[in-house]
Structure formats: structure tokens, C-alpha cells
Chain A
Amino acid sequence: MQRIFISFIAFSFFLISCKKDSSTTYNSSVKADLSVEFDNIAGSQDLQLNTGKYITESGDTIKSITKLKYFVSNFSFTNMDGTVYTVPQDSSYFLVIEGDSSTYEPNFKVPEGEYKSVSFILGVDSVRNTLDVSKRTGVLDVTSPATADMYWTWNSGYIFYKLEGTSPQVPSMGGMGGNNFYYHIGLFGGKTTSTINNIKKVTLDLTARGTPKVKSGKDTNIHLMVDVLKMFSGTNSISIAAHSMVMTDDYSANIAANFVGMFRHDHTEN
């Protein structure tokens, strides 16, 4: 019985390797499934809301992370031959919410083929920031429960990235119940007067850690790691003690400058 089983396994290995050897043919006029997974981590640990404790590169202690939400949008995928597939606007906006696993894996239909890079923006572009409310559907609906706290009502615009938590480094504010940090980063450049633009484009190479091979009949998943601790280091070193609350102020640009470094391609499930 065991022997039969083993030979069955050997046989199926054979089949699989056979399939692998014969070079796959792609039909670029056929679209197939591709997902991009946003796996939030903190340094070398998985990110755990409320319970995880982490240390930033500059030595600040994060006692807890209570909220992490961010918009990713305007996805495009570049094929091995350089052809760029841009995801249609109406299906290119996603809100990743730590704690809600249904938001971790945006799904796309892209032409069959092998892709060498993925691009997206962290945030919401200025066109969508200034769109008529009737066209703001899905995660862009500013009246929906998930999105309402990702929108500045008094300074029209989406909050691109929100990280909240507690740290002993936060000077406690007299009576306000201290130790909380708030990073609410937005600002799309302004509608009539130009303001800071904190929209960041992220482009990641996919060849080094597993080229996605998109083919109908199967799911391909690009697994990204999103390291929140990198928000505190990289281009700028962010001290929690000195900047525990950053919203619409000039300093937001220093944090946004670290955004791109938070993302890396970990592996691909083909």
C-alpha cells in the first residue's frame, strides 16, 4: 500500500516536472488571475495588532500597533518583453486594513504572460481625490464605514496611510491620556493651490524572487512584505519622541519619503 502510494507520488512528480520542462505558451489576448498580497510585518516579525511589541531601527519601542490602513492603487504590470499592462481605473483601488484578511490580496485579470515588475501607488491620485462624489464607489466611497476614517473632511482629501499605536517614547500629553502616536499621511498636491504631494509610486522587480507566470486555469500570487518599521527609517530617521503626531503638516513629507522602502517582493506562488 505504501509502495503504491510512493510510486504514485513519484509518478506525479514526473508529470509535474514534465509540464515544467515543456515551455509554457501564453496567449496575451487571454486574461488570467493574478493577485498581489500585502503581508504586513514589523521587522522580522509578523505584525500583530494590539499585542505585538517592536523596536524601530533607531531604538524606539512600539508597545502596540492599534491601527494600520493604507490605500494602494493604479496598478500596472510589466511583461518580460517590456509591455505594460495597466489595470483599468475602475478596478485599481484597494484599501488594505490590518486585521481584515479580506483586504490583503487585491485581485486582477491580466493578459497571460510572465511579468518582471509590478508598479502601484501608495495613496490615491489627484484625479480620484477631486472626483464627483457620485463616482466615488467601492473603497473610494468617503461615506462608507471602512473609508470614512481615511478621509479628511475639513481638508478635502484621502488619508493615504494611517498607523496608530502606543510607545513609551511619546511624551504624555497633560491629562489627554498619553503615549499614543498617530501617523495620518495624505496630501495629494492640492486642487487649486499646490500643496505637498505625498503620493508615492512603488515599483518592484519580480524576477529575483520568483517571476509570476500568469496563465488561465491557475492562480498566481505575488507575495509582498510590507515592513511598517521601515516607515521610521530609510531616507529619514523618524523619532517617535519628536514626532508622535503627524497629520497635515510639513513633516509628513519626511515620513512619505520612507514609504517606498517599506515594500519588497518576497516570493511568488505560481
Chain B
Amino acid sequence: MSVKRNNILAFLFFFAGTYACKKEMGNSSFEGFQQPSNFPAPEYHFETNALTQAGFELGRKLFYETQLSHNNTISCGSCHIQTSAFVHPGHSVSHGIYDRLGKRNSPPIMNLAWSTSFMWDGGIFDLDLQPLAPIANHVEMDDTISNLLVKLGKTTDYPTLFQKAFGTPEITGTRFLKALVQFMVMCVSSHSKYDSVMRNEGASFTSTEQAGYVLFQQKCNSCHKEPLFTDHTFRNNGLPPSGLNDEGRYLVTLNSTDRYKFKVPSLHNIFYTEPYMHDGRYFDLEGVLEYYNSGAQNTTNLDTLLKQNGRLGIPLTSVDKTNLIAFLKTLSDRSFLLDKRFSEH
């Protein structure tokens, strides 16, 4: 046992050593976008936004910049908090400027390079256009992007940072958006236990986790499709509409078959991204699983997968739930939550 522990210690030291090295080299060794071998090819158009260290660092600074909001109190990072995989923990719907309530729960900033659309209803089809929404939205940051660019131009540091990233000090809308996106696409989470098992890096599932995995593949994987845990489609999973009567995807397409459909969310880091669902109505995974077992309603456009064998929802015994939760825990990637590259500097 002690030998083993020594081994672990030595391993940790080695790790810490390489980590420190990496840190020292720091600025000169920007690795750019790293494609995890178990993920498909990314969807993001890197050809129109070549990642650079200066661009990424500028994007990070902008992400944590409170001057982005009308009264200088809120940044993107206020609602997308890294240690919670960039969601707003404990807030069912996000609080914005002056504490006006948004109507939806903030989703994680994670593996967005693989997303084909953004927002719960997929209303935004290009990540480059995404930052425009919270800045203009009265409930979120309540500023206009043109105001904001003027504001940044008057600071002492931003013109220099734009120069470093784009060659000249001009702060244009396009540059602003591209820099923010450089930061966001770099936020790749691929070091969960699940990922290590899939990449045969030595880790293996416990028997409970394995049982949960098998169950997951049977009952959840057609929507929360591996390895990103979403098939990027919009579906109605049977949640009874709340008082706000958010019609989801319908608001974007106006097709009645899209009423009450929402984007299938990824389940990576699901243990850190509570509360759950588009309006944050569930505060723990037990609640979510019991919902699938007994709470699904036959609302308009309910997905056929949730009305099999004359029954609504997905039958789950308490053993099933324990196993599923054990599996879902393997999707936690702590290194992502603590990665200094993504933290406020």
C-alpha cells in the first residue's frame, strides 16, 4: 500500500512538475485548439477566426469585463461561472443587470466548438453572433455594442490588446466578437473519467458506473448522444410548461411542430451545472431522474421516445437511478473547472 502511495505521490510530483514547466513557458506555448481524439470534428469555422494567443487572451479579458454592461456591474462571467462549468449555479433563471429576471437558465460555456446552434431554442446559428444577444438584451447587460466599443476605445489597455491580437489598435465590432469567440471555443472539457475510459487511457468504470453506462445507452443516448451528450436537435422531453409558457424552438421557427421543443443539453459536468432544464426547475439530479420516471406530461410535440409501451416518460427503478447517477458522475471534469487558462486574470 505504501509503495502504491509513493507511486501516486511520485506521479503527482511529476505532474505538478510538468504543469509548472508548462506554466513557466506560459506565454510562448499557446497550443491553440486541441481536438480530443474521442470527439468528432468541430463545427466551428476556424478558417474565419484563426486562434492566436493574443486573441484568446483578449477574449478572456473581455469575457470577464464588467464594462460590457450598461452600469459596469456585470460581465459574461457573472452568469457563466467557471467553477460551475460556466453556468450560473443556484439561479434557475439568470439574473442580469438591475436584477431583472431573464426567462431562461444560463447554459454552460463548454465544447461550443461542436455546437450547431446556440441558446435553448437555437435562435443563434453562429457563435460569432452570440455575444450580441446578452449585450443588447434589456434583461441581461442592457448596452449597445456600439456604445461598448467606444467605451473600450477610451480605456488605456484595450487599444494595445487589440493591436496585439489583430495588428492595429482599432476596436471594431467584428474583432470584439471574434476575440470573445476565441476564448469560448478554447473552453474544451474532455478530461472526465468517461473520456479517459473511452480513450483507453487506463481508467475503467466501476461496476455501478458500468451498469449506469449500459442503462444510459439504452434510455438516454438517443438524445444525449455520446461523446458530447447531445445530438444537437430540439426535442420536447415532456416538461409541463411553466407560467411563462416558454414555447422554445417555436419562437424561432414559428413551425407548430417545434412548440415546446428545446435543445438537448450536453451532460458533461452535469454535477456542476445545476439547476437543470431550460428554466432551471430542478435543483438536483435525483429530481431530474424522478421526473423522467414519473413526471413527463403528454404535452404538444412530446418526443415519441418518451411515450413507449403506452407509458409516459422513462421507467427507472431506484437501482437504475443509483447506477445512472454513478455514471453521470464520471462526466465530471474537474481539470476544466480549475483550468487557469480559463480563469479571470
Q: Which residues of A contact B (CB under 8 A)?
A: 130, 132-134, 136, 141-145, 148, 151, 153-156, 190-196, 248-250
CB-based contact B136/A133 at 8 Å? no
- Known contacts A133-B174, A153-B136, A250-B254: A142-B125 contact under CB 8 Å: no
Asked whether A134 lies within 8 Å of B174 as measured between CB atoms, the reply is yes
Q: Are B132 and A143 in contact (CB under 8 A)?
A: yes
B136 & A145 in contact (Cβ 8 Å cutoff): no
Chain B contact surface mostly = helix
Query: Closest residue to A146 on the B side, CB-wise?
Result: B146
- What total of chain B residues lie within 8 Å of the partner, measured CB to CB? 33
In the bound complex, how far is the Cα of B45 from the Cα of A136, in angstroms? 16
List B108-149 residues whose CB lies under 8 Å from chain A: 116-117, 119, 123-126, 128-129, 132-133, 135-137, 144-146, 149
10 pairs, CB–CB < 8 Å, chain A vs chain B: A130-B126, A133-B173, A134-B48, A144-B146, A145-B144, A153-B129, A154-B123, A156-B125, A192-B125, A194-B253
Docked Cα-Cα span, A143 to B128, in Å, equals: 12
B176 at the interface (CB under 8 A from A): yes
Q: How far is the CB of A106 from chain B (nearest CB, A)?
A: 23
**Can you add 12 more A-B contacts, CB < 8 Å, to A148-B146, A192-B125, A193-B252?**
A132-B45, A133-B128, A133-B129, A133-B173, A143-B132, A143-B176, A144-B146, A144-B173, A156-B126, A195-B253, A248-B251, A248-B254
Counting chain B CB atoms within 10 Å of each CB, the highest count among A130, A134, A136, A248 belongs to A134
In the complex the two chains form, is B254's CB within 8 Å of A130's CB?
no
B124 to A154, Cβ gap below 8 A?
Answer: yes
In the bound complex, do residue B128 and residue A132 qualify as a contact, i.e. CB atoms below 8 Å apart? yes
Contacts of B178 in A (CB 8 A): 133-134
Contact A148:B136 (CB < 8 A) given known A133-B178, A156-B129: yes
Query: Within the assembled complex, what's the spacing in Å between the Cα atoms of A141 and B253?
Result: 24
B146 x A143 contact (CB < 8 A):
yes
Any chain A CB within 8 A of the CB of B73? no
Give the complex CA separation of A195 and B125 in angstroms.
14
Q: Are B177 and A133 in contact (CB under 8 A)?
A: yes
How far is A132 from B129 in the complex, measured between Cα atoms in Å?
A: 9
Residue in A132, A143, A194 whose beta carbon sits within 8 Å of that of B48 in the complex: A132
0/1 interface trace, chain B 230-263, chain A, CB 8 Å (1 if under): 0000000000000000000001111100100000
Q: Does B308 contact A (CB under 8 A)?
A: no
Query: For residue A141, which residues in chain B have a CB less than 8 angstroms away from its CB?
Result: 173-174
Bound: A154/B123 CA distance, A: 6
Min CB distance B266 to A, Å, is 19
Residues of chain B within 8 A (CB-CB) of A193 are 252-253, 255, 258
Chain A residues with CB under 8 Å of B124's CB are 153-156
List 5 tightest A-B contacts by C-beta distance, closest first: A143-B173, A153-B132, A153-B133, A155-B123, A145-B146
User: Once bound together, how far apart are the Cα atoms of A140 and B254, in whole Å?
Assistant: 25
CA distance A129 to B116 in the complex (A): 16
- Is B172 part of the binding interface, using a Cβ–Cβ cutoff of 8 Å? yes
For residue B305, give the distance in angstroms from its CB to the closest CB of chain A. 20
Bound CA–CA A142/B128 (angstroms): 11
A143 touches B254 (CB 8 A): no
For A144, list chain B residues within 8 Å (CB): 146, 173
Q: Is the CB of A192 within 8 A of B123?
A: no
Q: Which B249-284 residues sit within 8 Å CB-CB of chain A?
A: 251-255, 258
Q: How far is the CA of A192 from the CA of B148 in the complex (A)?
A: 31
Write the nearest CB–CB distance from B281 to chain A, whole angstroms.
Answer: 21
Smallest Cβ-Cβ distance to A132: which chain B residue: B48
Closest residue of chain A to B126 (Cβ to Cβ) is: A156
**Chain A positions within 8 Å of B132 at CB level:** 142-143, 151, 153
Identity of the chain B residue whose Cβ is nearest the Cβ of A143 in the assembled complex? B173
Q: In the assembly, what is the distance between CA of A191 and CA of B116, in Å?
A: 11
Question: Within 8 Å CB of B49, what residues of A?
Answer: 134
Selected contact of B123 from candidates A151, A156, A249, CB within 8 Å: A156
Tell me which of B48, B116, B149, B252 contacts A195 (CB under 8 A).
B252
Which chain A residue shows the least CB distance to B132?
A153
A141, B172: Cα distance in complex, Å: 10
